[in-house]
Every structure is written in structure tokens, then in C-alpha cells.
Amino acid sequence: MPTIAELTGIKIPEKIDGITFLPTLLGKEGQKQHDYLYWEFHELGGRKALRKGDWKLIKYNIQKPDHAKIELYNLSTDIGEQNNIADSNPKLVSELSTLMDAARTESDVFKFESPTIIK
């Protein structure tokens, strides 16, 4: 949305976390970057993911505590996400989980019915 807003001269809403990528489109320097990316899906028991640098944390079955699962990948060495290293990196899992929880904004449209916080 920020890119379209900038192109059309429309004011960017205040409560939005998007960043315009117009500098990249125009081949200019100074493209701003997000510190991390967060997304979620409500299908299949609920899923959350966070990417920060080379690290990707994924939480599966948010709404099904008995089937909850956490995965952590270092994408610089495992781009195919084949080697889950969550168990051997509890401090990093905790740090990224905290960031994930802080990044989430409650939605009136897409709600987790009974979210489970997995750390």
C-alpha cells in the first residue's frame, strides 16, 4: 500500500507497517528495510512465522495445543528448511517468539479462536 500511496500522492495511513519499495523500482539508493517480517495463516490449526535476518521461526497448530510444533531454520545454511534446529537454540527461539508475539495485531476479521502461546 505505501508504494501505491506514494505513486498516487495519497497520504499513507498512520497505523500501517508497510514500507514503500519505490526506490527499488526506480533503481535508487536508500531503500528502507523491515527489521523482521511476520505473517500468519488461520488454516490447518493456525500458523505463525517470523523472519529476521537469516533466521526463520515457524509455529504450527496454534489452535491445537496437543499438536503444537515449533521449527527454527538458519536460511543462510538451510534454504530448503530441512534441518529444524529449534531444540538446540532455546534462547533464540524465545527471543524470536517474544518478537513474534509483539508483532501480532489482533484482527476483527481473522481471529485465532483460542491461541496457544508457544515459547
The domain spans of the chain are: 1-33, 37-103
Look up the pTM and report it. 0.75
> What pLDDT sits at residue 13?
77
pLDDT digits (tens, 9 = 90+) for 40-65: 888 888 899 999 999 999 999 888 87
Tell me the mean pLDDT in the region 85-103: 95
SS (H, E, C) the chain: CHHHHHHHCCCCCCCCCCCCCHHHHCCCCCCCCCCCEEEEECCCCCEEEEEECCEEEEEECCCCHHHCEEEEEECCCCCCCCCCCCCCCHHHHHHHHHHHHHHCCCCCCCCCCCCCCCC
Q: How far apart are CA 40 and CA 5, in angstroms?
A: 25
| Fold (CATH) for 37-103 | Arylsulfatase, C-terminal domain (3.30.1120)
What's the average model confidence in pLDDT over 1-13? 85
Residue 24 has pLDDT above 50, yes or no: yes
